[in-house]
Chain A
Amino acid sequence: MAFEILPYDPELDPAIASLQTHLWCGDTARNAAYFRWKYLDNPYLGDVILRLVRDGGRIVAMRGLFGSLWEVDEPGNHVVLPHADDFVVDPEYRNRGAAARVMKQTIADARDRGCPFAVSLSASPVTFVSSLAAGWKAAGRYDPVWRHSPRSAALQGLRDRLGSVRWLSRLRRVVAPTSIVNAASPANPFARLDGGAARLPPTLSLERSARPEEMAALVARLPWDGRIRHVRSREYFEWRFRNPMHDYRFLYFVDDGGLRGYLVLQRSLSDRVDRARVNIADEEANEPAVRAALLRAALDLGRFDRVQAWTSSLPEGSRSLLREWGFKPPASNVLTRSGGLLVFRLGSGPAPATWALGRRNLLSIADWDLRMADSMVA
C-alpha cells in the first residue's frame, strides 16, 4: 500500500482536526484548539513530533508525541520525555498497514531528538494493545478506583454483566455507546458543585482556574521521595489546565499560612467520552486533614454520578480515605486490564538490563509518582 508518511505541516491543521473526529471529539474547532494547546503551546518541546499518513489527498492516520518534563531522584534533575498520544486511523484504513508505519516513523523522529525514552500514559485499550505490538513495554497499571451514585452503579452493574458475555465489547458498544450514556447523564456534572460553592467553609474555595505560582510553591515545599514525577512548576500549571478539551474545578485549602492543599477535578467536553465522569486530576496537601477536607468538600457538594481516581502512587492513608468514601476498583476484565503506563526505549545500542532514569526503574510503576493530570485522561 503506497501511503505517504508526512511530518507535521501547519497547512495540514484542518485535516488533523477532521481526522481527530474519530478520536478526540466531533467538534473540529475544539479539536483544532486542543491540537494547538497540546503541541504548539507545549512548553517542553520546541517542535512538533507528529506523523501523518496520506493516501491520495486524504489524511488517514496520525500519531504524535508531545513534550513532558520529568524529574527523578533530586529536585532539578530533569529530563524531557516525549509523551506518545493521539493515535488514530481512519476506519476505512484500518488493517492496511498504516498504523504500524505511522507508529514506527514517529518513534524514529523522537529518536532523532536524542531523548532516551518515550512514555505513554493515556492509551485507550486499542492503543495500548497496538503499542505493545509495536514494542512498547508496560510498566504497570494505575490502580483506578471509582465511586458511583446508585444510578450510575446500576448502569455499571449492567455493563459488568455484559462484560461476562461473549463478544462483550461489541455487545457493549451496541447496548451502551457513549452517546446513549451521555444522553442519560447530567449535562454538566459540576453543576451541583458550582451551585454549592457558597456553602464551603472559610478555609476552602472553589475556582475555575489554577493558581500556578501558589500550587508550584506548595509542591516544592512538600517532601518528595525521588520517584519519577512530572515537574509541577509555575510554567506547568500555567499550561496544563488550559486544555480546551476538558473543564476543571480547583478546590483550594488556604489559611493564614497560605495554600495548604489543592484538589483538581476534571470533566471532559468531548462527545466521545462519558461526560458524567469526573476525575480527580491532581491533589496535594500538607497534611492528611487537609486532604480529607478537600475530598469531603468535592464529594459532598458535587454529588457526582461517577468519580475516578488513580491510586498506584498514593500512600496507604490516601487509599484508605478513598475506600472510606466508597471508591472501589472496577471489575477486572481485559478492557480494564488494557491500560496503564507504557515506556519505549529510544536509545540505540544494546538494551541495558534495567531501563533506568536516574536510580529509578522505568518499568516499575512503584518507581513513579503519577497524577492523572500527567496523562491526557484528565
Chain B
Amino acid sequence: MGKTPSREELIRAIEAAGAVLPRPLDDDASLIRSGLVDSTALFEIVLWMEDRVAPGLDLTAFDLPEEWDTMAKLVAFVERHAR
C-alpha cells in the first residue's frame, strides 16, 4: 500500500464515484445522511477504501453512516486504517 490518501484524493475519489460535492466542501457537511452520496457512489467508495486504505475492510465491523458521514470523519477513518 502507498502513502495515506489525502483529503483531496478522497474528494476526487468521491467525485469519480459519481457524487457531486459542493465547493468549498465543509468538513462537517453530511454526505450520506444528506443523500449527496448514495447507492452506487457509496459502493464505489467502499471499493476505493478497500483498495487504497483498508484491505479486508469489514463493513459490518463499524458504524458506516456515523463514521463516513462527513469529510472530517472520512479523513479520520482513513488515518486510523492506513496505519
Contact = CB atoms under 8 A, between A and B. Distances in A.
A334 B50 contact: yes
A132 B19 contact: no
Nearest to A61: B39
Contact of A101 (B20, B35, B44, B46): B35
A133 B47 contact: no
A95 B41 contact: yes
A129 B42 contact: yes
**Highest count of chain A CB atoms <10 Å: which of B39, B43, B58:** B39
Contacts of A166: 51
Contacts of A125: 43
Interface string A69-100: 00000000000000000010100001111111
A263 B74 CA distance: 47
Contact of B35 (A97, A132, A332): A97
B37 A126 contact: no
Interface string B35-79: 111111111101110110000111110001100100000000000
Interface residues of B, number: 29
A362 to B, nearest CB: 14
Interface string A128-148: 111011110010000000000
Nearest to A135: B65
A315 to B, nearest CB: 25
B65 A94 contact: no
A94 B38 contact: yes
Contacts of B43: 125-126, 129-130, 169, 338
B51 A168 contact: yes
A308 to B, nearest CB: 21
A96 B19 CA distance: 8
12 contacts: A94-B39, A95-B18, A96-B35, A97-B34, A99-B38, A100-B34, A100-B35, A130-B43, A132-B59, A132-B60, A168-B51, A334-B46
